Amino acid sequence: MKAIVYHGPGNKAWEEAPDPAIVDDTDAVVRVDTTTICGTDLHILKGDVPEVTPGRILGHEAVGTIEQVGTGVKSLAIGDRVLVSCISACGHCRFCRQGSYGQCLGGGGWILGHLIDGTQAELVRVPFADTSTYKLEKGASDEEIVMLSDILPTGYEVGVLNGKVRPGDTVAVVGAGPIGLAAILGARLYSPGRVVAIDLASRRLEAAKSFGADLTVNNAERDAVSCIRDITDGLGADVAIEAVGVPEAFELCTALVRPGGRVANIGVHGRPATLHLETLWIRNVTVTTGLVDTYSTPTLLSLVGNRQIEPGRLATHRFGLDQFVEAYDVFARASDTGALKVVLSR
């Protein structure tokens, strides 16, 4: 088969790789019909995730078709169409039993495209297939459903739910890329008073408006802290969601939030960020971090099925599976290309 293989920082290739096979009886082999590229993949290529070693097939998002199942797989059969979750779950350990699948102790967690070969390939081995995939009925398109592998549950769980967005809240989302837009979609489900998108790119701020942002701030042109204070009687945002993964964005969130407010960090950070406890402690600010657990995926699948959210709108560029190198180039130059999510399909 062909796959995107990582060869160290800045180096990847679409090349021949061995076909995956069943290793454990709870495995399935899935034919990848649709996949995408995540911002985390760009962090890997920058060298920010040293656990990813040369030779690894990248990717952790896919919609596909079951080609093989192990003898221990109970709920799936050859030919089933499935969503492959970015998080694998053994289903039995302490953390899985409480829904914290990202912290799985039984060999799961974020392993695809990280600790084992991933989904940016023609075929992928999925461990713990019964608890790490979602069987799909007819209806929503692959392009919509693939957004539920990672980006939508990440924005929803790590941003909206960790940030405890409530009706009437002023929510500041720093970063109007794909994760920030997913957080805006999720926040709108809780009837916030205002959602403010903050970014350096005007094209992404225009996208944020279409995804439900009430106000946008280009913080290359205006001071975001002053803007938020102006609309909140000097208090600051109830919730500030960091959706970039750079120190400046996190530190901006801590400056935007009101006393008693919440900072929800989603971004994957490759460099240390300064935590100004000397100013935050007296303001009763809560800071949360997190790897997505994907416990919300069934809820999000229902919302997509009922057309209450439309994640397919995140897809801006489409490619064939054999165009991965071009797709990576377009996604990596998002400020020039306007890319939000690139979708690759057979």
What's the whole-number mean pLDDT along residues 201-208? Answer: 93
The pLDDT-based confidence of 140 (bands split at 50, 70, 90) is: confident
Give residue 68's pLDDT band: very low, low, confident or very high (50, 70, 90).
very high
**Using an 8 Å Cβ cutoff, are 320 and 343 in contact?**
no
The residue-averaged pLDDT of 63-76 equals: 98
Q: Band of the pLDDT at 234, cuts 50, 70, 90? A: very high
Q: What is the pLDDT of residues 162-192, one digit of tens each?
A: 999 999 999 999 999 999 999 999 999 999 9
Residue 43 belongs to what H/E stretch?
Answer: helix 39-45
Do the beta carbons of residue 41 and residue 71 sit within 8 Å? no
Provide the residue type at 71 as one letter.
Answer: T
pLDDT at 59: 98
Evaluated on CA atoms 244, 249, 250, 256, the torsion sign reads: negative
Q: Tell me the pLDDT tens digit for each residue of 5-23.
A: 999 999 999 999 999 999 9
Domain ranges in the chain are 2-150+293-345, 153-288
DSSP string computed for 89-148: --SSSHHHHTT-GGG-SSS-BS-BTTTB--SSBSEEEESSHHHHEEE--SSS-HHHHGGG
**The domains spanning 2-150+293-345 and 153-288 adopt the same CATH topology:** no
Token match 């994760």: residue? 179
Type of residue found at 257: V
pLDDT of 139 reads 75
Average predicted confidence (pLDDT) for the chain: 96
Residue 143: both structure tokens together:
């392009």
pTM for the complete prediction? 0.95
pLDDT in the model for residue 192:
98
Cβ–Cβ under 8 Å, residues 172 and 231: no
Instruction: Please report how many Cα atoms fall inside a 13 Å half-sphere around the Cα of residue 86, on the Cβ side.
Output: 29
> Which CATH superfamily includes the segment(s) 2-150+293-345?
Medium-chain alcohol dehydrogenases, catalytic domain (3.90.180.10)
pLDDT in tens, 21-34: 999 999 999 999 99
CATH number assigned to the domain with residue range 153-288, chosen from the 4 options 3.40.50.720, 3.40.50.2000, 3.40.50.300, 1.10.3720.10: 3.40.50.720
